[in-house]
Amino acid sequence: MKRDWLYQAGLLAAAGLVLWFFVSNTIHNLETRRIASGFGFLWREAGFEIGETGAIAYGAADSYLRALGVGLWNTLRIATIGVVFATLLGTVIGLARLSPNWLLAKLAAAYVEVIRNVPLLVQLFFWYAIISENLPGPRDALQPLPGIFLSNRGIVFPTPWSTPELSGFNFIGGASLSPEFAALLVGLVTYTAAFIGEIVRAGVLSVGRGQVDAAYSIGLARRGALRFVVLPQALRLIVPPLTSQYLNLAKNSSLAVAIGYPDLVSIANTTMNQTGQAIEGIAIIMAVYLTISLSISAFMNWYNRRVALKGARQ
């Protein structure tokens, strides 16, 4: 026992020594480069414009803090919308893979294989190239459904209170998604859905055939068997890995910086380049993502306890 504590004290001392080495070097380096440390820069004028500001009013004269707030809003926006659509598409893919229809099952399997084996960043660039280089201008916008317009300016769609109309070189009215947001959303959703599809498939497969037969034998119809027998058992297996996919989607949304969607990482990157406050910038990014990760984990743990077996050991 005594040796254990000695061992741990040694480990702590070594870690402390490395930390002290880094910190003292950093302090020295910051002094020679005349960079003031601390978060005071957050209240200075940012001086750059942001393409999409969402719900937060922002101009170049506003502070860095406000700019980072816009970035956070944009990150939360893409992550929330992405999680909803990825779950829907992923469920469809997972169930399609289990379909008795051969064509549908093979198509879903091919989708999963292709999407999972190509880096997300390549897929984001691909979608962005399709939207910004290959879609026509607003005047010749594609109209897959009445009222929805696809053009190299992004996606325009109607809302209950306003319909988009072409006016001059762009659309007015309706709601719109910028090309960057649209590419990021399509990329994140299609990518994550491939992983969620596999989770859904494994979850449904885990419910034994005997369970389904038993459900039928006590007189439940197909709907009832799914609702009361298969789904509750499958969910128990699906929720934990689904949580990590949600976390992945939130973290992957940081690739926005590569296609110019102003998410938190992108704004923090600009801030670091302008102010030289690298440590503070990275600390902000990490703190925000850790908070998001922990919040998603906490929520999903709560949900997992709700769907878990009553009285089962967690």
Partner 1 sequence: MSRIAHWIRANLFSSWPSALATLAVLWLAWQLVPPFVDWALISAVWRAPDARACREAHGACWAFIGEKHRFILFGTYPFEQHWRPALATALLIFLWGYSSLKRSWNWWLPGIWAAGLALIAVLMWGGVFGLAYVENERWGGLILTLILATFGIALAFPLSILLALGRRSELPVVRAASIAYIELIRGVPLISVLFMASVMLPLFLPAGVTIDKLLRAQLALILFAAAYLAEVVRGGLQAIPHHQYEAAEALGLSYWTRTLHVILPQALRFSIPPLVNTFIGLFKDTSLVLIIGLFDLLTTVKVSLQEPAWSGLGVEAYLFVSAVYFAFCYAMSRYSQGLEHDAPARALKGS
**Strand 154-157 relative to strand 149-151, pairing:** antiparallel
Interface with partner 1 includes 205 (CB under 8 A)?
Answer: no
Kindly state whether residue 251 participates in binding partner 1, applying the rule CB under 8 A: yes
> Which one of 2-10, 44-52, 66-74, 169-177 is the stretch in contact with partner 1 (CB under 8 A)?
2-10
Whether the CA torsion 252, 131, 177, 193 is positive or negative: it is negative
Residues 282, 106: Cα–Cα separation, whole Å: 44
Q: Cα–Cα distances in Å, from 54 out to 151, 237, 270? A: 21, 37, 18
Chain centre to alpha carbon of residue 124: 13
- Measured distance CA(114)–CA(102) in Å, rounded: 18
Rg (CA), the chain: 25
Single out the residue of 255, 261, 262, 270 in contact with partner 1 (rule: CB under 8 A). 255
Pick from 61, 79, 60, 128: nearest CA to 265: 79
Rounded CA gap, 181 and 82, in Å? 11
Tokens read off for 214: 């038993």
| Shortest distance in whole angstroms from residue 114 CB to partner 1 | 7
101 versus 162: smaller Cβ distance to partner 1: 101
15 contributes a contact to partner 1 by CB under 8 A: yes
Of 29-48, binders to partner 1 (CB under 8 A) are 29-30, 32
Site for partner 1 in 88-107 (CB under 8 A): 99-104, 107
By CB under 8 A, the residues from 264 to 293 that bind partner 1 are 265, 269, 272, 278-279, 281-282, 285-286, 289-290, 293
Residues that bind partner 1 (CB under 8 A): 4, 7-8, 11-12, 15, 22, 25-26, 28-30, 32, 99-104, 107, 113-114, 116-123, 125-126, 128-130, 132-134, 247, 251-252, 254-255, 257-258, 265, 269, 272, 278-279, 281-282, 285-286, 289-290, 293-294
